[in-house]
Amino acid sequence: MARWEPGARERLVMAAVELFTEQGYDATTVAQITERAGVTKSTFFRHFPDKRELLVAGQETLSRLLAEGIAEAPAGASPLDAVAAGLERASGAMGPMSREIAPRMKAAVAASAELRERDALKSVSLAAAMTAALVARGVPDATAALAGELGLLAFKRAYAAWSDGNPDDDMAPYARAALDELRAASAALS
């Protein structure tokens, strides 16, 4: 095993998702993950505090990208237009690896109460990042919270559709379509 071989974090995530799918989350050990990824246990713990955190690999980056996109939206943008800018920015981080692991990760999460709990915390964190970015733009708290939740729902719907779609597609059009659909649905609530 090469000590500083590039891509260790990505290989760990792929190995974990494969093992979670094959034998379940609870039956998978860190030792099995590191063996499949071709890295040492110390490399694992340099990247992740425990196996549960593999589920949220990239969450901080995703939260940052969503917030940056919202912050950089044009000054006169509505809260949902700012959220659209955040979704656009975050969509750029969704590459082939994200698409490849999506169905297996979905199955692993569905099969484990612990992973469902961690996934729910991830969702809360992403919505909070969007809400905070909107509040920083001067959007009132309640409006920012609602727009952040709609942004989260749009992201989840877009990710699901994109991961099942054409492998050559970018995720951004899926995100725009999901947000537009939710915008229309919320207008119908009045």
Q: What is the CATH number of the domain that holds 131?
A: 1.10.357.10
Q: Are residues 147 and 108 in the same domain?
A: yes
For the chain, the domain total comes to: 2
CA angle at residue 85 from 143 to 91, to 5 degrees?
A: 120
pLDDT tens for each residue of 2-32: 455 568 888 898 899 889 888 888 899 999 9
64 shares a domain with 47: no
Ranges of the chain whose pLDDT falls below 70:
1-6
43 & 70 share domain: no
Domain identity same for 134 and 78: yes
What local confidence, expressed as pLDDT, does residue 111 receive?
A: 84
User: What pLDDT, on a 0 to 100 scale, did the predictor assign at position 174?
Assistant: 94
Q: What is the pLDDT of residue 113?
A: 87
Indicate whether 89 belongs to any domain. yes
Name the residue range of residue 47's domain: 8-53
Whether residues 71 and 138 share a domain: the answer is: yes
Q: Which CATH number do you get for residue 20? A: 1.10.10.60
Do 156 and 140 fall into the same domain?
A: yes
Domain final residue, candidates 53, 72, 90: 53
**Cβ–Cβ under 8 Å, residues 90 and 65:** yes
Whether residue 166 is contained in a domain is answered as yes
The pTM for the full model equals 0.83
3-class SS string, the chain: CCCCCCCHHHHHHHHHHHHHHHHCCCCCCHHHHHHHHCCCHHHHHHHCCCHHHHHHCCHHHHHHHHHHHHHCCCCCCCHHHHHHHHHHHHHCCCCHHHHHHHHHHHHHHHCCHHHHHHHHHHHHHHHHHHHHHHHHCCCCHHHHHHHHHHHHHHHHHHHHHHHHCCCCCCCHHHHHHHHHHHHHHHHCCC
88 touches 176 (CB < 8 A): yes
Provide the pLDDT for residue 5.
Answer: 58
113 and 81 assigned to the same domain: yes
